[in-house]
Amino acid sequence: MAPRGTSKGHEHPALSEVDLVTVLSALAEPTRLRIVGMLAEFEGERAWKDIELPIAQSTLSHHLKILRNAGLVQNRTEGTRCFVSLRDHEIDGRFPGLLEAVLSCRDTP
Amino acid sequence: MAPRGTSKGHEHPALSEVDLVTVLSALAEPTRLRIVGMLAEFEGERAWKDIELPIAQSTLSHHLKILRNAGLVQNRTEGTRCFVSLRDHEIDGRFPGLLEAVLSCRDTP
DNA sequence: TGGCTTATTCGATGATCGACGAACATCGAA
DNA sequence: TTCGATGTTCGTCGATCATCGAATAAGCCA
């Protein structure tokens, strides 16, 4: 039997395996939309611990997992640290114009 | 002045009052996405009873209410019949490119 | 080796969601 | 006015979700 939590093992699905509803569900939550927007503004990697939101660490980890499973973000581990970035180019290949449209609509209240 | 509610009591929010997460949530469900896609292909009104889906009437009514509240569709009552149509132009004014992007991504499995 | 930091996973909780059938409301027709 | 057709609302059920704190795993450093 495999040892339970092989912890930092991040799963990054191929974009071809991700369907539209999964992506929309991932984006249809305020905190996650905020994270994606934050990463988009950053143009590159962002350190995990620099993602400052008024939620518990475990909750943030949970949201990042959902974003990962939707193919929206990817994680890179360096020692004990973790860096998160948007898979924007790949997403655009799979769902052309979608992420850009969502992000440009994000800040029109 | 008679505010929006028609005889059946349908609420159609002003698009300015609808926020992005609400729209994304409405679209992030297979049945509703299918309805929206169906209406988009139709280019016009569609009779309620012609929306043939493998769900109960009450469930369809529920989904249409969510789509209405998200500003995505509108209802028009004529006698006992009801016609549904997409508010695509208005949506595009509020969230430029969003609906088009979602719909064009819809059929790329 | 033993701490320290960092992120994930577990377990629990309360809220929300999609589904259904039944009851209700509305309108046209008999 | 009674009947039938058409949607909506209500009440409920099981599943999923967001959230938290605690426990766990994995790597660095003294």
CATH number of residue A23's parent domain? 1.10.10.10
| Residue A6 or residue B44, greater confidence | B44
Per the domain annotation, does A14 fall within a domain?
no
- pLDDT on residue A7: 40
pLDDT in tens, A21-52: 999 999 999 999 999 999 999 888 999 999 99
Mean predicted confidence (pLDDT) in B93-101: 97
Best B16, B21, B33, B99 residue to mutate vs chain A (most A CBs within 10 Å): B21
Domain boundaries, position A68: 19-106
Please state the domain count of chain B: 1
Q: Write the pLDDT tens digit of every residue in A57-106.
A: 999 999 999 999 999 999 999 999 999 999 999 999 999 999 999 999 98
pLDDT at residue A109 tops 70: no
The answer to whether position B57 is within a domain reads yes
B21 touches chain A (CB under 8 A): yes
- Whether B50 maps to a domain, the answer reads yes
Domain assignment present for residue B10? The answer is: no
Does A38 fall in a domain? yes
Q: Three-state secondary structure along chain A?
A: CCCCCCCCCCCCCCHHHCCHHHHHHHHCCHHHHHHHHHHHHHCCCEEHHHCCCCCCHHHHHHHHHHHHHCCCEEEEEECCEEEEEECHHHHHHHCCCHHHHHHHHHCCC
Does residue B3 form part of some domain? Answer: no
Looking at the complex, does the CB of residue B16 fall below 8 Å from at least one CB of chain A? no
Q: What's the pLDDT at B109?
A: 62
Could you write out the three-class secondary structure of B8-36? CCCCCCCHHHCCHHHHHHHHCCHHHHHHH
Size of interface A-B (CB pairs under 8 A): 69
B82, B28, A58, A109: CA torsion to nearest 10: -70
Q: For residue A31, which residues of chain B lie inside 8 Å, CB to CB?
A: none
Full-prediction pTM beyond 0.85?
yes
Comparing alpha-carbon positions, the chain B residue that sits nearest to A24 is B28
